[in-house]
Amino acid sequence: ANICAVETVALTRVRVEVARVDAIDRMALAVAGATGVWEAAPRVLHLVMGSDAPAVGAALAELSTAVPAGATR
């Protein structure tokens, strides 16, 4: 999977660490409700999701092999 880690930050954003930034479909993220997507660091994206950020972060973590910040598997 491309998602390595997921964390909800600042109540409105989801921080996603990915293996390959070039594999990200930014249009699909916009369709899913992201009002902004930016590369905060190499391989780290911030998705601006508004008040849905905690739910989106949890869903991304469930759909991936990522471990949410503070959790263990």
Alpha carbon distance 31, 17 (integer Å): 20
Q: Looking at residue 67, what is its pLDDT? A: 56
- The DSSP 8-state label assigned to residue 43 in this structure reads T
pLDDT in tens, the chain (73 residues): 789 999 999 899 999 999 999 999 999 999 999 999 999 999 999 999 999 999 999 999 888 765 555 555 4
Amino acid identity, residue 26?
A: R
Q: Decide: residue 13, CB within 10 A, 0-12 exposed, 13-18 middle, 19+ buried.
A: buried
**Element at 58 (helix H, strand E):** helix 53-63
